[in-house]
């Protein structure tokens, strides 16, 4: 593998490609701790924790992404990051505000949906048990 000054970074959501571009550095947090990666870093795969992903683009500008759990794959000079949810912020303060507003709201919606699903499952189990009862 040849030495390079930049690597290609792709940040993917389930429904779309959120970011794609050349980068000098990627800073992320894995389940076992934070790390920084340069273009000639060794290839690896890691599970990402919900955290802030910082991508330093080819011009040296830092891009901040609030990410949910995901997966990072580094292969050659290509870095692919797949996450469930992500938001981009201009700076850490605005990113924090966006995360609080969006992720907390989505978490509440998921909690309500899980509660409704549990009630539905309990109803199905009751109906099956009623079917097993003999008719009098």
Residue-wise pLDDT for 15-49, tens only, equals 999 999 999 999 999 989 999 999 999 999 999 98
Say what the pLDDT of residue 120 is: 84
- Are 39 and 5 in contact by the 8 Å Cβ rule? The answer is yes
According to the model, what pLDDT value does residue 124 have?
A: 82
Least confident of 3-12, 40-49, 109-118: 109-118
Domain 7-92 CATH assignment equals 1.20.1070.10: no
With tokens 């991508």, the residue in question is: 55
Cα–Cα distance for residue pair 51/26, rounded to 1 Å: 13
Domain ranges of the chain: 7-92
Task: Yes or no: say if 37 and 108 are a contact pair by the CB < 8 Å rule.
Answer: no
Q: How many CA atoms lie within 13 A of 43 on its CB side?
A: 5
């Amino acid at each position: 593998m040849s030495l390079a000054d930049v690597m290609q970074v792709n940040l993917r959501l389930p429904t779309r490609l959120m970011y794609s571009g050349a980068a000098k550095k990627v800073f992320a947090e894995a389940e076992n701790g934070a790390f920084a990666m340069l273009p000639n870093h060794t290839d690896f795969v890691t599970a990402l924790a919900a955290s802030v992903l910082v991508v330093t683009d080819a011009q040296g500008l830092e891009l901040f992404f609030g990410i949910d759990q995901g997966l990072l794959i580094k292969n050659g000079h290509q870095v692919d990051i797949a996450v469930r949810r992500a938001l981009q912020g201009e700076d850490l303060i605005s990113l924090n505000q966006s995360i609080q507003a969006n992720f907390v709201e989505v978490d509440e919606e998921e909690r309500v949906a899980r509660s409704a699903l549990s009630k539905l499952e309990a109803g199905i189990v009751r109906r099956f048990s009623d079917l097993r009862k003999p008719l009098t």
